[in-house]
Structure 1
Amino acid sequence: MAETDDRDFDEIDHEADDLEDAPAEPAHPRSLAGAPVVVADDIHVRYRVFGGRKSTARDMGRIRRLLNRSRAHVGAVTEVHAVRGVSFVARHGESVGLIGTNGAGKSTLLRAIAGLMPTSSGTVYVGGSTALLGVNAALVPALTGAKNVMIGGLALGLTPDEVRERFDDIVEFAGIGDFINLPMKAYSSGMAARLRFAISTAAVPDILMIDEALATGDAAFRTRSRQKIEEIRAHAGTVFLVSHSTQTIERLCDRAIWIDQGEMVMDGPSAEVVEQYRQALKKKL
């Protein structure tokens, strides 16, 4: 699976900034959401991390004793229980924000919903096509941006003619100009992020999933991104958005799910969930 060598949308710690955010205007009222398109039933995600802290002389003695018993395992193995029993139903036409502090499990949950990370237990039911922002699995860093536009478009289900028809709009939206003819491995993280966003929204999927996308790019690009998400919402596509910006969640999402240490703390209208989340952050200071 090829991925760009720049960092993915790593979670950025904006919690302190959010405490000063003025309440944002809520997302525009919409008609009642339609039929369920994503059902998460008691999802648990566990994974193992190999390696750990620097070994001391005492640790090395223990390791030698373990190696004498068996050579099946070398180094420390830690199990991370990233998502713990999360359940919810998302309906056609909803825009759902996932909020929480760093390491809360938001991105892991998003990837489990997208089918990119297996669940340890529980079940995810998805009705419709999904697109995780950036179609990272399809892009090839060694190829030019232009060729990756074609690859990404095909991965989204577009025909070659449809990709060619939308090519200029994708490049213009990404705002990378002549860099489109250079290999993606030469791009800055911001340029690559903008192109991934532009490709992934070239086709309106049933379910669009965005992880910290709006934290990348200048103000003009963030404005275009919001407009694109509103366009998808207008066509009744379901949107999941992971962001630390509570203003962004309030502005773009009808509903928010607050995750903390892998567990769901609250699920409800975005303004109500964000307010409770802000109050919790203030108590921790």
Structure 2
Amino acid sequence: MANSLKDKATGPQPEVTLDDDRDPIVVVDGLHIVYRVYGGGGGKGNAASALMRVVKREGRPQMKEVHAVKGVSFVAYRGDAIGVIGTNGSGKSTLLKAIAGLLPPARGAVYTAGQPSLLGVNAALMKDLTGSRNIILGCLAMGMTPEETREKYDEIVKFADLKPGFIDYPMNTYSSGMGARLRFAIAAARTHDVLLIDEALATGDAKFKRRSKAKIDELRKDAGAVFLVAHNLDVIEETCNRVIWLDDGRMRMDGDPDTVLGAYTEATGK
């Protein structure tokens, strides 16, 4: 699969350079992501009156384009843990969704060896169900067998470190941090080709962050690559061997954490 990635990524006008001594697992080649959103048609009123205007073709909303990712190119290799940083609206989460295959490129392409997982099971978790039921559904959604799910159940509960008894409460009673910890614990219960984590490590105490870092190190050894979006630069510095800095949808820097984080801090004052 890695060879096919190399073949696909080298078209007539390649934008990426591959290291033949390493095993590529994700190739992002001249990627552009454009959202098409509808704005108001200039009228006022509630949702019902807005609907009536659409039905009557009066004051119809105008479509606008938001160019969220602009010509980003890079190669992620097996064993990489890549932090993705940038200010709000810089395109970080959009990039992860594109790698996961959830957003189609307007131009360019994303090639992956294996199946990317955006925190593994976001779509499978149901707030009206208990944490316990969500563990079972989440593991099954990731392709684990019922036997594998039973074997991993206690490990997931322990890793999530919820308040006593909360594993049997509906997830709509959880704080945002508890929900994020449980999602990460479920996602980390199996080996992923490419694991994409969006802010999950920013919502825990120091003990949880240490456990998460150890788990990511384990995933890097046993699987492919890990991508991590976090506003907490300490988490990025401690967890990642490489950092990509996005600025207004464009790649500003791609390099080792000390260099990129230092430049980012100097530029933004954060």
Band the TM-score falls in, shorter-chain normalisation: 0.7 to 0.9
In the TM superposition, residue 174 of structure 1 has moved relative to its aligned partner by 0.6
Aligned to 1:83: 69
Aligned residues: 244
Moved segments of 4+, more than 4 Å: 52-56
Q: Does residue 205 in structure 1 map to residue 192 in structure 2? A: yes
Q: State whether structure 2 residue 134 is matched by structure 1 residue 145.
A: no
1:168-217 CA distance string (max 9 Å, x none): 11011111242111221222211111110100000021111111111102
1:266 maps to a residue whose letter is: M
**CA separation in 2, counterparts of 1:34 and 1:127?**
13
Mark the runs of 5 or more structure 1 residues left unpaired by the alignment. Answer: 1-31, 57-62
Which deviations, in whole Å up to 9, do the C-alpha atoms of 1:101-159 show, x marking residues without a partner? 01000000011001122222211101012221151111122221111111111121211
Q: What is the identity, as a one-letter code, of the residue corresponding to 1:140? A: M
Aligned to 1:93: 79
User: Larger deviation: 71-80 or 104-113?
Assistant: 71-80
**8 Å Cα contact 1:33-1:94 kept in structure 2:** no
Higher mean Cα deviation, 194-203 or 149-158? 149-158
| Greater CA drift, 231-240 or 157-166 | 231-240
What CA distance in whole angstroms lies between the structure 2 residues aligned with 1:187 and 1:140?
12
Q: Which of residues 22, 32, 37 in structure 1 aligns to 2:25?
A: 37
* Identical columns (%): 53
SS at match of 1:137: helix
Cα distance in 2 between the residues matched to 1:188 and 1:82: 30
Counterpart in the other structure of 1:114:
100
Q: How does 1:14-53 map to 2 (within 5 A)?
A: 34-51=22-39
SS of the residue aligned with 2:244? strand
Residues in 2 aligned to 1:236 and 1:130: alpha-carbon distance in whole angstroms: 11
Distance 2:121 2:226 in 1: 15
Q: Which has the higher contact order (CA 8 A, sep 6+)?
A: 1
TM-score when normalising by structure 1: 0.78
Letter of the 2:181 counterpart: R
Q: Which runs of 5+ in 2 are unaligned?
A: 1-19, 45-49
Task: Tell me the SS of whatever aligns to 1:37.
Answer: strand
Residues 131-140 or 85-94, more deviating:
131-140
Q: For the residues of structure 2 that align with 1:219 and 1:209, how far apart are their CA atoms? A: 21
TM-score by length of 2: 0.83
Q: Which amino acid aligns with 1:257?
A: I
